[in-house]
Structure 1
Amino acid sequence: MSIAVPAPTRLGAFARLAKLDVWDYYLAVPLAWALCGPPAWGSTDVLVTLGLFLLGTVGVVAGAVAFDDVTGFRDGSDAANYGPDAPARRLARKPLLTGELTEREAIVFGWCATLFGTLVWTWTAAFAPFRPLWVLLLLAACLISAVQYSWGLKISYRGWQEVFLAGFGIGLVLAAVGLCTGEMSAFTLVQAILFGLGPLLFGVYSNTRDAVGDARVGRPTVAVLLSTRGNIAFIAALSVGEIALIVLSSGLGAAPWWFAPAMLPAMGLRVAQLHRGLGLGDVLGARLIGLHAHRTTVALLIVVNLFTPALGGWS
């Protein structure tokens, strides 16, 4: 199905295929920098390592979303979820659907982007101050799962979409920190999980909106597999779980005692998202709040990491 919309440039079409305007996973890099601590903040090796890591991540993500668009175009799920009545700005995010790019062009772009990301991540690991085995394995897992998300094994079509959305973000933060410090503290793990929950907690609202189209092509997201009530309970449990992680990590000593109060704005946005999506039934509005909640969470985590040394650590 092809729906004509104005196309500014072919370069712009490839940028939209790569979803370069959705940069939420890329925030793992500044968060990782903040997590490295004062000795590493001004280190040239650390800054170059993180710069290369970011460049490679852009390539890996661009390849993954390009393949996702090809699969969605082939099976008709994108045509169902981005129909002719969709606003032109939203529809333009699918250049295969609008006819701006051919399927072959998208596949070639996907493989080129993936190859670029793989080579740059390999270069990053070779240059990094540390390269423990667990980091290399984590990088390999992130790369393989991203490529196979909607291509090859199609893990998102086998019930693993939600696991990937969170796990990929967690893996990015831990791998970036590991390459720079060789370590993973409990507080680093807490922040990596909070980071990974961000994409998941706006992805589940998108899946709720797209449940009919996903069910039609056999993509078993939680929204497809569960009843409406069950899906609501799942989303609520994720939201409450995120807040509980923040509070308990402070109370049990995995984070500074003042961590939970510092994260109150992010927790407030998560409650507002629940109210908008589950209370008022505005799924797309809740998804937008989820984007703001994720970005606010990352900004607050960076501030927390920057201020922790000045406040005497966790005392």
Structure 2
Amino acid sequence: MDHTAVLGRTGRYAPSWRVYARLAKLDIYDYYLATPLLLAMLLPGGRLTTDGWAVIGLFLVGGIAMFAGLCSFDDVTGYRDGSDAANYGPDAPARRLARKPLIAGALSEPQAVRFAWCAIAAQFACWGLALLVAPHRPWWAVAATLLCLFAGFQYSWWLRLSYRGWQEFLLAAYGWVFVLAPYGLVTGQAQGFAMVLGLVFGLGPLLFGVYSNVNDIAGDRAVGRRTVAVLASPAGNAGFVGALCLVEAALLVLPAEFGAAPWWFAALAVPVIALRAGQFTLGLVAGSREILRARRLGIHTHRVCTLLLVTACLLNGGAA
């Protein structure tokens, strides 16, 4: 018997909540770290009213629902077009294969699709309510929220944006929206240090996602998913990733020179720049090419970076 299933009222075994948690990729919580960052940006300045707390909470729950739906639809699409079978074949380690419940046989396709639509409905409800109760509604924050509502589940469903060359932009844009949109709904603005924090945060998931793309080149190319890793030469892709690292480093170092961040912000960010250099060397410098280890280091680097961003907010008395 599959121990990840329980006996349902129909007499058939139904997937347990653990299977759906794996489908939703709940163990990858890096976008949800926007919430502690937002609290550090807002609490020291006493800028959180009751409605502001509601906006932050609704954005968090809606964001979790969004990625549950997005990841579920992505697994269904990968199951249908065969890319997951190529990237997570029968020779994959059992723990890695379990992250794909459809390939592992722990879940049926209709069950995954129903779960995805329920998750997206929850996201629409949470973010719609967040817009209704928000203390402020600057046009750009409302527009970003609405665009993310529709670009979220269509990452690999319907419009399949990630297949059409938008994947890298979306990986960063989700992080930008998760920080800057609720900040704008609470405060009515997002400029200076708050903008720097949001932009740096969004680059984190992108800078481990691009290493996953290198690992998935064969499967993505076979199904027509147009990522930079697929379209560019190895040297061109390495140049692209290197440019992203330089953009992140610039956002950590230069704002203090223009008064958009505290003078000590660049010194605080040195560990992030060092870790990012190590990640690039590990994954993309000739003679190493440890792509999956580099991806894992990228995840840890994003978490370290977020911790340092939170620390910077607390030292600065918020993001104002």
Mark yes or no: TM-score above 0.5: yes
Mapped pair 1:292 → 2:300: yes
Mapped pair 1:55 → 2:61: yes
Paired with 1:67 and 1:249, the residues of 2 have a C-alpha distance of: 38
Residue pair 1:69, 1:94 contacting (<8 A) in 2 also = yes
Aligned-pair CA distance for 1:216 = 0.5
Aligned-pair CA distance for 1:47 = 2.3
Paired with 2:145 and 2:48, the residues of 1 have a C-alpha distance of: 24
Per the alignment, residue 4 of structure 2 pairs with 7
Residue pair 1:5, 1:98 contacting (<8 A) in 2 also = no
Per the alignment, residue 222 of structure 1 pairs with 228
Paired with 2:112 and 2:264, the residues of 1 have a C-alpha distance of: 48
Q: What SS does structure 1 have at the residue aligned with 2:254?
A: helix
Aligned-pair CA distance for 1:46 = 2.4
Aligned-pair CA distance for 1:135 = 1.3
CA deviation string 1:77-119 (max 9, x = no partner): 0000011111111110100111111111111111100001110
Per the alignment, residue 316 of structure 2 pairs with 308
Distance 1:41 1:296, change over 3 A: farther
CA deviation string 1:203-228 (max 9, x = no partner): 00000000011000100110000001
Per the alignment, residue 257 of structure 2 pairs with 251
Aligned-pair CA distance for 1:259 = 0.5
Q: What SS does structure 2 have at the residue aligned with 1:257?
A: coil
Residue pair 1:198, 1:294 contacting (<8 A) in 2 also = yes
Aligned-pair CA distance for 1:282 = 0.6
Paired with 1:43 and 1:269, the residues of 2 have a C-alpha distance of: 37
Structure 1 stretches of 4+ moved >6 Å: none
Which segment is superposed worse, 78-87 or 184-193?
184-193
Paired with 2:193 and 2:45, the residues of 1 have a C-alpha distance of: 17
Per the alignment, residue 31 of structure 2 pairs with 25
Q: Partner amino acid for 1:194? A: V
Residue pair 1:62, 1:110 contacting (<8 A) in 2 also = yes
Per the alignment, residue 267 of structure 1 pairs with 273
Aligned-pair CA distance for 1:5 = 8.1
Per the alignment, residue 98 of structure 1 pairs with 104
Per the alignment, residue 121 of structure 2 pairs with 115
Residue pair 1:5, 1:92 contacting (<8 A) in 2 also = no
Paired with 1:303 and 1:45, the residues of 2 have a C-alpha distance of: 25
Q: Partner amino acid for 1:304? A: A
Q: Partner amino acid for 2:298? A: G
Paired with 2:46 and 2:164, the residues of 1 have a C-alpha distance of: 41
Q: CA RMSD in A?
A: 1.8
The partner residue of 2:164 within 148, 158, 164 is 158
What TM-score does the superposition give when structure 2 sets the normalisation length? 0.92
Q: Partner amino acid for 1:132? A: P
Mapped pair 1:72 → 2:45: no
Q: Partner amino acid for 1:75? A: D
* Alignment size in residue pairs: 309
Residue pair 2:75, 2:102 contacting (<8 A) in 1 also = yes
Aligned-pair CA distance for 1:38 = 2.4
Paired with 1:123 and 1:44, the residues of 2 have a C-alpha distance of: 14
Residue pair 1:236, 1:274 contacting (<8 A) in 2 also = yes
Paired with 1:123 and 1:42, the residues of 2 have a C-alpha distance of: 17
The partner residue of 2:95 within 84, 89, 108 is 89
Paired with 1:278 and 1:224, the residues of 2 have a C-alpha distance of: 15
In structure 1, runs of 5+ residues without a counterpart are none
Residue pair 2:70, 2:156 contacting (<8 A) in 1 also = yes
Residue pair 2:249, 2:273 contacting (<8 A) in 1 also = yes
Mapped pair 1:193 → 2:199: yes
Per the alignment, residue 211 of structure 1 pairs with 217
Paired with 1:186 and 1:102, the residues of 2 have a C-alpha distance of: 48
What TM-score does the superposition give when structure 1 sets the normalisation length? 0.94
Paired with 2:289 and 2:104, the residues of 1 have a C-alpha distance of: 30
Paired with 1:245 and 1:50, the residues of 2 have a C-alpha distance of: 25
Per the alignment, residue 128 of structure 1 pairs with 134
Distance 1:283 1:236, change over 3 A: same
Paired with 2:65 and 2:38, the residues of 1 have a C-alpha distance of: 19
Q: Partner amino acid for 1:307? A: L
Q: Partner amino acid for 1:285? A: R
Paired with 1:25 and 1:191, the residues of 2 have a C-alpha distance of: 14
CA deviation string 1:31-64 (max 9, x = no partner): 1222225233664332232112111111111111
Which segment is superposed worse, 222-231 or 182-191?
182-191
